[in-house]
Structure 1
């Protein structure tokens, strides 16, 4: 990504954050490995985060949303705390929980901070993956940390936490998936939304080389073609979106190093699908490429 294209004051903000976090080592900072045909995706995300905006990444599974978040963490040299949402995500999963500890024979109730509190107190990044999988009644707790207040009254302790200036929030959603719910408009309006499209063509070839063990040029080209053909089927409604997941494709490429590529497609992609007609559609496409 050509960071030189960023405005001078934005680059100054990035350098300021790097200096602020040069002494942190306890939270992993992701590699700068996000690849996309549209370079403005990364540049715009960097600008928005530099300006203190919250970012909502929208895109299909395996499109690189988490990789983008890790790349931003790397760009700012800023540690990142993650929340992986599910239907079971509750207030404790976000904020932390109380536990009983013993000190010199005396039992005490101690609060163990969760990822939201840690990120706010340390001024780190907070990554909320699959935010639209969480229960709608859980998410309003985030409203006050996502607007100008940047503070939270913890319902578990009644304490007020105010975020440090460098605190930033990146969230990610897959719209329309089973178990997801539409985001409340009041919550969505607190984000700058960035669409992450499917990776295709030459960029996908680079992703496979970067992320998988496969180094056979001809086979890589075949898998790029497979991805393109699967995406056509997804858009036609013949197979579900997860069949064209880049994550699944990378798994399949890894398997293809050690087994027949058609068998790798079966293990890595088609057998994950529920309906026999969907499995057959994937294997029919793969058989035309791999024989």
Structure 2
């Protein structure tokens, strides 16, 4: 694979053709990062960011989108400023705010930069989580940041801020949840979209080993089987996506070091579900395995 643009030295090898996938996963585990379901997902994300593209991570809750963003930040050796979107997100939450302070006993107005300005001026990554939770009129404030201009006129200082080299944007989206809105086309077209599926099988087993305190292989295998059954039930419309959250499963694995696995699963997974029908469904699955 010929790369015509500069990549960080520590990830050059990840874009080499025929790179052994096992070694790549070991590298990610060593860095405490996300293990993608396939190496192409990692390569495509690295490629897009290296070319100055924004990437949008789409996938169910608990699939590992935030962990993937953190892994990319580690691989590029880039700090990452974060924005957690909600209906209350406003210009101050994105860009910063003014406050009164003192300088040599004189009261002055000082601007405190927010995550967008910080990421731009330091040339680092910006992570926008649950981007479709923000009000439709809020995110257009940063349209210029997300396109080729990489600039914004700070409404609080009237300063034109241009992003330093190295600046990149990673966003994540959960579709179909209460409070979310569809992304408008102007915003969506500013991203390269990557679908992030659930981790399963051997990759999930490795993740449990590396990310939880659970060490018993037999119990880990049962949790992997439970996860597979939950994911299948979600795909068949029998359960909501919350039931198959990998994050919740890892919590259950940790709890099972101290309390019985059935009770751990009840606390970490079952009790988060809203419908009694779904709770009973998961309990039945657990009874067959544990």
Where structure 1 has 5 or more consecutive residues not aligned to the other structure, the ranges are 1-5, 19-29
1:217-252 CA distances to partner (integer Å, 9 max, x unpaired)? Answer: 011010011011111211222221011000000000
Alignment-derived partner of residue 142 in structure 1: 142
Q: Aligned equivalents of 1:201 and 1:36: distance in 2?
A: 12
Q: Conserved in 1, the CA contact under 8 Å of 2:78 and 2:124? A: yes
Residue of structure 2 in register with 1:159 after alignment: 159
Instruction: Look up the match of 1:232.
Output: 232
Q: Distance between the aligned counterparts of 1:16 and 1:213, measured in 2?
A: 29
- Mapped to 2, the partners of 1:263 and 1:37 lie a distance apart of 29
Distance 1:172 1:273 in 2: 23
Query: Take 1:124 and 1:17, find their aligned partners in 2: how far apart are those partners?
Result: 17
- Whole-Å separation in 1 of the counterparts to 2:58 and 2:31: 21
Q: Is the 8 A contact 1:17 1:166 kept in 2?
A: no
Q: Note the 1:159-238 alignment, pairs <5 A.
A: 159-238=159-238
1:31 is displaced (CA, Å) by 4.1
1:15 equivalent to 2:9? Answer yes
Query: Which whole-Å CA distance do the structure 2 matches of 1:16 and 1:237 have between them?
Result: 42
CA-CA distance at 1:195 after TM superposition = 0.6
Shift of 1:113: 0.1
CA-to-aligned-CA distance 1:199-233 (integer Å, 9 cap, x gap): 11111111111111111101101001101111121
1:7-46 equivalences in 2 (<5 Å): 7-10=2-5, 12-15=6-9, 31=31, 33-46=33-46
Moved over 6 A (4+): none
Q: Could you say which residue in structure 2 is the equivalent of 1:270?
A: 270
Q: Closer, same or farther in 2 for the Cα pair 1:32/1:43, shift >3 Å? A: farther
Distance verdict in 2 for CA 1:225–1:16, change over 3 Å:
closer
CA distance in 1, matches of 2:253, 2:10: 40
Measure how far apart 1:105 and its partner are: 2.5
Task: Using the TM superposition, give the Cα deviation of residue 7 of structure 1 relative to its aligned residue in structure 2, in angstroms.
Answer: 3.8
C-alpha displacement at 1:158, in angstroms? 1.5
1:177 is paired with a residue whose SS is coil
Does the C-alpha gap of structure 1 residues 173 and 270 become closer, same or farther in structure 2, counting only changes over 3 Å? same
- Asked if the contact 1:48/1:55 (under 8 Å) is kept, the reply is yes
TM-score (structure 2 length as normaliser): 0.90
Listed one character per residue, the Cα deviations across residues 63-116 of structure 1 (whole Å, up to 9, x for unaligned) are 111111111111111111111111211111110011000122321111100010
2:95/2:116 contact within 8 Å kept? yes
Q: What is the rounded CA distance, in whole Å, between the counterparts of 1:33 and 1:103 in structure 2? A: 43
Q: CA deviation at 1:8?
A: 4.2
Give aligned pairs, total.
273
Map of 1:54 onto structure 2: 54
1:284 corresponds to 2:284: yes
Contact 1:56 1:191 in 2 (8 A): yes
- 1:114 correspondence with 2:114: yes
CA RMSD of aligned residues (A): 1.7
Which segment drifts farther, 103-112 or 123-132?
A: 103-112
Partner of 2:20: none
Unpaired runs of 5+ residues, structure 2, are: 13-29
Deviations for 1:149-180, whole angstroms, at most 9, x for unmatched residues?
A: 10001122211100012110000111111111
Give the distance between the partners of 2:11 and 2:152, measured in 1 at CA: 23
> Secondary structure of the equivalent of 2:101?
strand
2: distance between equivalents of 1:201 and 1:288?
19
Q: Name the SS for the 1:13 alignment partner.
A: coil
